[in-house]
Structure 1
Amino acid sequence: MKRPSRAFTLLQHGLLAIMCVIAIFPLYWMIISSFKNESEIFTASFVPMQPTWSNYTYVFKEMPIVRMMFNSFSVAILMSSFQLATGLLAAYALVRWRFRGQLFIFSMLSLTWLIPFQSVMIPNYVLVNQLGMNETTLGIVLPFAVSTFAILSLYQSFKQFPKVLIEAACIDGQSDFGILTRLILPNIKSMVVSLGILQFIHGWNEYLWPMLITKKMEHAPLQIGLKLFVNSDTNMWGSLMAGTTISCLPILLLYLLLQRQIVDSFVRFGIK
């Protein structure tokens, strides 16, 4: 095979560099804007002329941002944990047992993946309101406790697991729960971790449903708290950029710590 010419390689790298700049520039502008004062916030300067920490001070003073960050972590961790737990049990049941209506149940699960959440949002809101779960983390997590995406992804992994090993474990007297936790999970743990990372990021970024459930900053995740902050102080753009920068730090640190696993997650499920 012919090797690409040097000019073509330089063109490729140049295009990639331009795309990286386009992708990173909004983040850079957000960070430098968080250090600008009110008179400088609308200028086109790429570096703050008079850097100030007043925006961050104002955010921590006027917003319970530590509490909201804890709320976001609670929502993301609980949501991903529930989805993994229900996904593992449902996928194992669909693969392990044969029962009447199995194909119908699997078809209905597949169809629910195509239904947008907005179409069932009002019934969910009425139910959560009747249960008295408004302004609670459980009220945010409960409608997302089951994920069709998680069930179908784990179903495919379970289908590829050798049935001979499962039959041998049954002969040895292992229960179904023991087969799931001691035999299958250790062999597909990388796939489960990848799925958990994706579900955690999805839970962290969830916006529409928490906006309906929470009305107070101390009960809201970070994204909803920033929206409430905008509504209360429409002209404090520097402080808003500071709050947005703080809200990005946990996911950025998570990415730096788990970079290989996160990239593997997107590649693994993107190919599927």
Structure 2
Amino acid sequence: MSIAEALAAARSHGVARLDAQLMLAALLDRPRSWLIAHDEEPLDQTQGAVFAHWLTRRRDGEPLAYLLGEKEFHGLMLRLDPSVLIPRPETELLVDWGLRVLEARPSGSAGCRVIDLGTGSGAIALSIKHDCQTAEVTAVDASPTALAVAGRNSQALNLPITLARGSWWDAVPDQCFDLALANPPYIAAGDDHLAALRHEPQSALIALENGLADLDRIIAGAPVHLAAGGWLLLEHGHDQATWVRQRLAVSGFTDVQTLRDLAGIERCTGGRALPATTSAFRVVSPAV
């Protein structure tokens, strides 16, 4: 089977040409441009068998990131497997907000204690550490397999972080942080979107109480784990921003605000643990 024939097979399976090219590029360890210029090059028997298997999995809806075992996020190439969620571009909004919080500190990020609750692949924690090398970053997850993925990414990227196993704040008893970030499960059981996410770990997607249970637990436990002036930043569902703002406010947070993603959706909400000059809610659109 040649590269051209492999691409034709992908088309007959209903697999997008770009996806097929990316699979072949990974399989042959060549750039896509090389594939285009060498479409008569043959695949050996093993490569042909692997590609055929990948085509079947991709046709069945398995995400390309799981087939290739990697996904780019915030400029970092992360290794992945089906034990962790695939990092989404929308979550980069949360990371960027966290970086601005650190940059605004009088001493910058030096010695700043940061926690990523529900780290999965380590995407948020490692992105923060990459851009703020002097920050002390802790990554928490209840899943030992997810922590193993995060640990491998930490080593591969030479970005040292502390890994802690446990459910949300329970993993870090008696510890205090200057910045907490979380992209927890927030989809309600039975939500129509879950069908398209069936290959990803459901425990990292679905939350009880109409998708709000884990957000509620994180907010409830935050005050005793945040330093004075510390920020809690949360990613949430498209229709949950009002609830999150109200929950933060009644928990004593100030400067409560929401950021919209590039699609105009209220995507991330956060607040400070220290009384500030204003506690009015704000909804902020992304800079363009």
Please indicate the TM-score interval, normalised by the length of the shorter structure: under 0.3
**So what's the TM-score if we normalise by structure 1?**
0.22
Q: Which has the higher helix share?
A: 1
Higher RCO by CA contacts (8 Å cutoff, separation 6 or greater): 1
Higher strand share: 2
Structure showing greater Rg? 1
